[in-house]
Structure 1
Amino acid sequence: MTRHLITSAIPYINGIKHLGNLIGSQLPADLFARYQRGRGREVLFLCATDEHGTPAELAAKKAGKPVDEFCAEMHEVQARIAEGFRLSFDHFGRSSSPQNHALTQHFAGKLQENGLIREVSEEQVYSHADGRFLPDRYIEGTCPNCAYNKARGDQCENCTKQL
């Protein structure tokens, strides 16, 4: 029997997703999973909420909540939305789960064993006030391409160029 692992892009946890997220990612994967199951194939359809990175941190700060509490609440909201649309996930998890951490470490170890990970150095902006390096989305300034004065450190929202 043919076995299929199907995933969709995992949604950031930074708020309620709009219909475009469903139509552009989760719904096509769900249709493919249903099609494969209908053909008698073994399917494992996985998705999760992405609870790592700046989007989660910024959204939690805006909501006035600790990141872990905000992520737990938003995961439940997004799981209910998926259930409401009857998406056929076999598992809808969290990127912060112990299972995901163990699996990620397993794959990272395999990549390291095969010489596919290399160490690099890069420059980052450090905030003495915050006592940490700042993610690019925390940095605002003027875009060198179009002079938009509220460009973020990763991409200009005005001209869409990567910075």
Structure 2
Amino acid sequence: MRNRQYSVGLLIILLGIVILLGKTGVFSFAIGMLWPLFVLVPGLLFHFFYFSRMMPSGVLIPGGILVTVSILFFICNFFGWHHMAWLWPGFILAVAIGLYEFYLFDNEHPKGVLTAAIILGVLAAVFFTFTVLFTSGIYFVAVALILVGAFMMFRRPRF
């Protein structure tokens, strides 16, 4: 009987701790910051299923997409969602990564899939470059002007 009282007492203490942590916002903060795990875990499971030979290589496409998108979500969760203004080409890159994984690990190595992955990867890089230039381009222009001016001031003339 003494062990049962001990177990019930321990259960009541744990329940109190859970309620106290819930009321202080610990769980809502953790869920609010770690919800991208619900996107990451299925992507990792797709990879696990392929590499353990339980599913065909086609599962690498959604696996690569989900893992890449979850990384974008984690970045925005930890550093702020305003970064999505220049991270949005990552969604195009996610599809390129998924297709490239499929090409890389499929036995037939389909050329059309590689072509699509390269096109989407280049498109994502172009969009990312333009986005960074249009959102933060003035800083690059300022640094370039400073460097050109310093070069012009301190270069040695050739006679």
TM bucket (normalised to shorter chain) is under 0.3
